[in-house]
Structures are given as C-alpha cells and as structure tokens.
Amino acid sequence: MLRGQGPGQSRRIPSLPAKSRLVLPILLALALSLAAASCASAPAPEPPSSLEISVGRFFASHNIPLLASTKPKLYFSSDDWAARALELVKGANDYIMISSFLVNSHRVNEPIMKALVEKAAQGVRVYVIFDSSSYFTYLPDKKSYLPTALSYFRGTAVRVAEYNPISGAKLFALPSLLDRDHRKFWIVDGKYLAAGGMNLNYYSLAPSGEYSNIDTFAEIEGEEPLRLMVDSFCETWNRYSPERLSPEAFDVKARPVDSSVWLVDQIPGEESKIDTLFDAFFGSAEKEIWMLQAYTFSTPALVAKIESATKRGVKVHIVLSANSFRSAYDEASKYCVEDLLKAGASVYMFDAPDDSFLHYKLMLADGRLAAFGSPNYNFRSQYLSREIAIVSAEPSVASAALLNLKGLMKYATPVTMEEAIGYRGLKYFASYLGMLFGG
C-alpha cells in the first residue's frame, strides 16, 4: 500500500496540464524525424555485385577466404611509396618484415636502407628476405651491378635471409633454380601490410622521370590478413635462415576494419593460387577486363582463358610496356601479341615520354574488382614462383585504379595484327623460349 492510499483505493496518476500533453507528441515526432534523418545521412552498405558474389564463391572453393580489412590505400608512384615506406620504418616500434624479390642499395633508396639499420640498432626486430636474382641487377648502363641486401646489411642488426641461394651445385639440379620468391610485401608492427610490384631497389624507387618503374603498392590493415602474412613470412624465413622464427613471437594488432580483401599468397608445390586468380577474373567478368602487364610470356593455356572470356562478349584489354631494361623481355613479350589478338583481346603498347617502364601488374574487371600484386601473366608466375596479390571489390578502389589507368593510356597505342606478325621472327621466338621459364 502506497503512503496516503486508503484501503480499497486505487492509485490515481495525476493528469498532465494541457500544455504538457501537447509537448510530448511534438518531442516524439521530433525524435522520430531526427532518427530518420540520421539513418538517411548514413548510406547503407552497397550490396555485393554478381561479379563479387561469383568471384567470392570461386575463391572460397579454392581455399582463398575473404578477410576483414581496411579499404586498400593505393600508391601509384615511386615517390609516394618511397615516402610512405620511410614513414613506416621510422614509426616502427616492434618489428619490420620485408620480403622483396630484388633488394639492392643505391642513393635513391639509401634513406630507407639507413632507417632500417637505425631501427634495428634501437632494438626493433628487422627482417629482410631477398631473392638471389638481386645479384644480377644492374643500372641502366648495363655495366654496374648493384650491391645486394646481404652486402649492405652485413655487420648491422638487420637480419637477412637469401631465398633459394644460387650455387654451382644447383646447376646440376636446374629445376630448383626456377623456385624464386617474386613477392614484394611489407609488414610493420602487426598493424600494416603493404604489397604490390615495387622492389626495394633502384628501378622501383628512383624518382619519377629518372628511368624509374611505373608501379603500385596497396596498403591494408586488419588482423586476419596480417596474421596470414606473418605466418607466411616466418615459414619462408625458416626455410633459408638458421635463425628460427615463431609466428607467435610477433604480435598482430586488432584494428578497426571497414572493408574486406582476398589475399592470394602462392607457395609453389601447392595448388596454383595465381591460376585461380586468373580464372576468377576471366571466368566471372561480365563486361570488360583490363590487364596492365610489364610483359606477358603467354602459353596456349593462358591464351585460352582470354579466348573463353571474349567468346562470352567480354572485352579484354592488355597493356604491355616498351622500355624494358632487358631486350629479351621486350622481344619475348612482343612474340606473344599475335596470339593475344587472335584470342580476341585488344593489345596496347605503353611508351612513356620519359622512357619509364610500366612494371605495374593490375587486373581490373567490370570497373569493380581490382587485383594489385606481383604476378605477371606467364607460366612462371602461374606455377613456379611465390607470388602475392591483394584483391578488392571496393568500388572506390577500382575507381582509383581506373582513373590512374586512363592517365597511363595517353601514352599507349594499339598494336595492329600487321605489327604483331612482324614480331614472330626467329629473334623474338628465341627470346620467348628463354623467358618462358626463366623470365
């Protein structure tokens, strides 16, 4: 019984004054309108396209899962990536892992190399994996060979591992020489993962206009992709270094995510994930595919992928590059153009006014799905090398790639069938045979 309430009396709630009764509905209506406005100002996530669904199912069936991440940040020039790489190194507090096909020292990347040494001296764990191909990198004069990571970091606290060292004994086991780590990726503090086509060497990091490669790097955050690549780095390191690394010794940070990616990390000996990548694009595209390739040493099987897409009405555009620093690469790639044209593709030759080389490896489907990474459209990347690619279905990422592509196409011209037939001479064929496995 409430105080002041007699037996048998029910509690009576006092009525509100007339003005108060009018205020409540007004406040309620105002609250509802504000809620509706806030919902309208926060756009709903864009539903996945049929292309995204198709590719996702195909990747999942080949054990390539969709991983939660941030939207990829893209770096389209050596200047932009060199600045970001130096920023990442200087900001590192725990560890840095770099896997790069080519690592050489030169004045253009001296600030990064020096910063790595300084960080290691401060106690940051710095690990660098480089491929033995680094020993055969020379300057544009084709006379001066560049020092490798092993020679530059000797005597410092930076730990270095050489992937599949080339030795005289291996000349008697030639197939083993074909196992190369062509990946280019960076991991910093378990927070940042960046991957693409840029090596840690002169050609990738020379300032724009100074005979540099035109290339790209994609950077993401996210616990899932970072953990996967820390594991991959440690597995590779443990094959070629006496110092054993345990993935559990490297903390991976949980980070806010707003997107997702497929991470294609190929290890030779397993099912070819790069072949899966190619099939996903050519099998799922509905309208158009763009491929930027420094060079392509195609095979009948690779040409058949293009033909299957063009027969479905998909427009396939392939952009190759002039100005290779090795004539054999240029000749081998040109030898394949006739086959690409016969398969229904449009082929363009990119020739930069400053003689830069288009090293950028991009696949773009329907203006929606974009892949950035290390694989070339050839047999070696398909089956023999370690390769990596970040695949995004984020519309803003594809739009940025398409915008960059349009700028590059100002310096690209279509290759005619008459020109392509002219590339079928003995010299071109000999270079093609040499590059089919070795390029």
pLDDT for 358-392, tens place per residue? 998 999 999 999 999 999 999 999 999 999 999 99
Q: What is the pLDDT of residues 29-50, one digit of tens each?
A: 444 443 444 444 445 567 788 9
How far, in Å, CA of 54 to CA of 312, rounded? 16
- Residue 380 is part of a domain; what is its CATH number? 3.30.870.10
Q: Based on the fold, state whether residues 61 and 132 are members of the same structural domain.
A: no
Answer with the residue of higher pLDDT: 119 or 356: 119
Say what percent of the chain tops pLDDT 90.
72
Residues 367 and 348 in one domain: yes
pLDDT, mean of residues 395-417: 96
Are residue 303 and residue 163 in the same domain, yes or no?
A: no
**26 lies in a domain?**
no
Domain-embedded: residue 32: no
pLDDT given at position 32: 42
Q: Do 235 and 296 belong to one domain?
A: no
Lowest model confidence (mean pLDDT) among 109-123, 153-167, 186-200: 153-167
Return the pLDDT at 174: 56
Task: Please identify which residue in the block is written with the tokens 């790489």.
Answer: 85
- One domain for residues 242 and 318: no
347 belongs to a structural domain:
yes
294, part of any domain: yes
Residue 142 has pLDDT above 90, yes or no: no
Query: What average pLDDT does the segment 204-223 reach?
Result: 91
- Among the ranges given (23-37, 112-126, 273-287, 368-382), the one the predictor scored with the smallest mean pLDDT: 23-37
Residue 99 has pLDDT above 90, yes or no: yes
Tokens of 60: 């999942």
Are 163 and 281 within one domain?
no
Tokens of 316: 């396939």
204 within domain boundaries: yes
Residue 18's pLDDT is what? Answer: 46
Round the CA-based radius of gyration of the chain to a whole number and report it. 27
CB under 8 Å, gap of 24 or more: what pairs does 147-152 form? 147/104, 147/105, 148/103, 148/104, 148/105, 149/103, 149/104, 149/105, 149/200, 151/105, 152/105, 152/113
The model's pTM is: 0.87
One domain, residues 131 and 251: yes
What is the span of the domain harbouring residue 368? Answer: 48-69+257-439
If one counts the domains in the chain, the total is 2
Q: Determine how many CB atoms are found less than 10 A away from the CB of residue 182.
A: 26
| Separation between Cα atoms, residue 123 and residue 120, nearest integer Å | 5
Whether residue 15 is contained in a domain is answered as no
Encode pLDDT of 181-198 as tens digits: 999 999 999 999 999 999
Q: Across-strand partners of 194?
A: 186, 219
Q: How confident is the model at residue 176 (pLDDT cuts 50, 70, 90)?
A: low
What mean pLDDT, rounded, does the chain reach?
A: 88
Contact between 273 and 386 under an 8 Å Cβ cutoff? The reply is no
Q: Quick one: 323 and 176 in the same domain?
A: no
